[in-house]
């Protein structure tokens, strides 16, 4: 456990040195602010740049606060996810190709610790950025549009966070499989898109899919309620995340160090 | 449009400026980057938000 803590701290300080603790949270805060501000100013923006005929009456109802927050999470799952995957695609791959991987593994550290500390440090940064981004979105939504019941926000945000964690665990799994960070990013993003599309088209067939978490989360934010089946994708996702970590550790164990 | 609330918009601009400044400082301090330094400088300044992010992800050589 002591070893784990030391390695975890080392990972965090490495993230700090590469400015990740600065720019990832800032990008999420920016994403979080943009949605409510755009929604608020949309009528003005249209009036100014929309090229509407003179005297056209613009009557766009301001979207509800829950809707704006759900849209913000939509931004997080597109641009935010892309940024996260690109930022972390090199987690294991670059160490392998540069040879530091071998230097770590000749020391008496367990493969399990190497993978889990990397995973935990990554999720720490991701969760912190996500929470900061969401808090700026909430602040602006409450300020400009309307307030939303806090409990709905917290529950919806947690469901969405689980989906983010699932995707980031995919990054670790693919990093243990492939030597190129491009392949890691491509496969992770592809997987996320496929899961979202499938849950969009066949929601009844795959209620257990992790991709359903996003739609449950957005239902919660918009209407304050969602189907009773939330526990199904939640459990499945948690099981899958655990499974993927064990799988990554065993893959890394079996693979001899690639130089 | 003349009633823009600067209290609302200022934080957005501030964050973009911080990202740009940090990226530029890092670019200046670094000995080597992936690609030409002056190209990155233009990218960071011209494309707000996306420029600095691209630099942090692709420009910095991990040493």
Among residues A10, A31, A220, which one has the least CA distance to residue A137? A31
Residue A50's φ and ψ, nearest 5 degrees, are: -75, -15
Task: Tell me which residue range forms the domain holding B24.
Answer: 16-59
Residues in chain B with CB shorter than 8 Å from the CB of A136 are: 11
Q: Show the CA angle centred on residue A79, arms to residues A247 and A246, nearest 5°.
A: 10
Tens digit of pLDDT for each residue in A18-38? 889 999 999 999 999 999 998
Residue B36 falls inside a structural domain: yes
What's chain B's Rg over C-alpha atoms?
14
Write down the mean pLDDT value for chain A: 87
Other beta carbons within 10 angstroms of residue A6's beta carbon come to 13
Kindly state whether residue B32 falls inside one of the protein's structural domains. yes
Alpha carbons B50 and B46: distance in angstroms, whole number: 9
Q: Is residue B11 part of a domain?
A: no
A4: left (phi over 0), alpha (psi -120 to 50) or beta: alpha
- Interfacial B residues in 2-61 facing A (CB < 8 Å): 4, 8-9, 11-12, 15-16, 18-19, 22-23, 26, 49, 52-53, 56-57, 60
Please write the tens of the pLDDT for every residue from A64-77: 888 999 999 988 98
* Residue A18 with chain B: CB contacts under 8 Å: 56, 60, 62
Over the range A185-218, which residues count as b (16 or more CB within 10 Å of their CB) and which as e?
Answer: bebbbebbeebbeebeeeeeebbebbbbbbbbbb
Kindly state whether residue B6 falls inside one of the protein's structural domains: no
Test A37 with B15 for CB contact under 8 angstroms: no
Residue with tokens 């301001």: A62
> What secondary structure letter does DSSP report for A52?
P
Q: Do B11 and A33 touch (CB under 8 A)?
A: yes
* A5 and A109 Cβ atoms separated by less than 8 Å: no
Q: Which residue of A has its CA nearest to B15?
A: A26
pLDDT band at A9 (very low <50, low <70, confident <90, very high): very high
Does the distance separating the beta carbons of B62 and A98 come in below 8 Å? yes
Q: What is the pLDDT of residues A191-207, one digit of tens each?
A: 999 988 888 787 677 78
Q: Which residues of B touch A37 (CB under 8 A)?
A: 8-9, 12
A223 touches chain B (CB under 8 A): no
For residue range A238-257, what is the model confidence (pLDDT) as tens digits? 999 999 999 999 998 887 65
Give pLDDT, residue A259.
43
Direct distance between the N- and C-terminal alpha carbons of chain A, in angstroms, rounded to an integer: 29
Task: Please list every residue in chain A whose beta carbon sits closer than 8 Å to the beta carbon of residue B62.
Answer: 18, 90, 94, 98
**Is the Cβ pair A26, B11 closer than 8 Å?**
no
Does residue B5 belong to any structural domain of this protein?
no
Number of domains in chain B: 1
In a domain, B7, yes or no: no
Q: Are A27 and B11 in contact (CB < 8 Å)?
A: no
Q: B4 in a domain, yes or no? A: no
Is residue A135 within 8 Å of residue A49, measured between CB atoms? no
Chain A residues in contact with B52 (beta carbon < 8 A): 23
User: What is the rounded (10 degree) CA torsion for B23, B28, B32, B37?
Assistant: 80
Q: Which residues of A39-54 are buried (b: 16+ CB within 10 A; e: fewer)?
A: bbbeeeeeeeeeeeee
Reading chain B (63 residues) residue by residue, the pLDDT tens digits are: 456 678 888 999 999 999 999 999 999 988 888 888 999 999 999 998 899 999 998 888 765
Q: pLDDT tens digit string along A82-126?
A: 999 999 998 888 887 777 777 777 777 888 898 999 999 999 999
Q: To which residue do tokens 């990054």 refer?
A: A171
Region label for A227, one of left (φ > 0), alpha (ψ between -120 and 50) or beta (otherwise): beta
For residue A35, give both structure tokens: 């949605």
CA nearest A82: which of B15, B14, B50? B50
């Amino acid at each position: 456990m002591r070893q784990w803590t030391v390695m975890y701290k080392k990972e965090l300080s490495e993230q700090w040195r590469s400015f990740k603790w600065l720019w990832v949270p800032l990008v999420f805060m920016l994403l979080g602010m943009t949605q409510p501000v755009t929604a608020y100013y949309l009528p003005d923006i249209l009036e100014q740049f929309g090229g509407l005929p003179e005297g056209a009456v613009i009557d766009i109802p301001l979207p509800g606060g829950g809707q704006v927050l759900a849209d913000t999470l939509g931004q997080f799952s597109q641009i935010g996810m892309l940024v996260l995957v690109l930022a972390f695609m090199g987690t294991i791959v670059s160490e392998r190709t540069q040879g530091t991987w071998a230097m770590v593994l000749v020391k008496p550290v367990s493969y399990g610790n190497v993978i889990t500390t990397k995973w935990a440090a990554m999720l720490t940064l991701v969760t912190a950025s996500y929470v900061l981004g969401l808090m700026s979105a909430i602040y602006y939504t409450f300020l400009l549009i309307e307030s939303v019941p806090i409990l709905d926000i917290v529950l919806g945000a947690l469901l969405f966070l689980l989906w983010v964690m699932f995707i980031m665990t995919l990054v670790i799994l693919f990093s243990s499989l492939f030597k190129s960070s491009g392949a890691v990013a491509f496969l992770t993003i592809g997987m996320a898109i496929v899961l979202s599309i499938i849950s969009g088209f066949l929601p009844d067939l795959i209620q257990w899919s992790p991709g359903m978490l996003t739609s449950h989360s957005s239902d919660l934010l918009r209407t304050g309620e969602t189907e009773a089946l939330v526990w199904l994708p939640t459990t499945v996702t948690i099981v899958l995340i655990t499974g993927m970590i064990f799988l990554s550790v065993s893959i890394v164990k079996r693979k001899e160090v690639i130089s | 449009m003349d009633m823009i609330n600067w209290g609302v918009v200022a934080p957005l601009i501030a964050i973009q400026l911080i990202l740009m400044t940090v990226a530029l400082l890092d670019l200046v301090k670094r000995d080597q980057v992936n690609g030409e330094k002056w190209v990155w400088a233009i990218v960071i300044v011209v494309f707000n938000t996306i420029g600095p992010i691209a630099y942090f992800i692709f420009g910095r050589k991990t040493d």
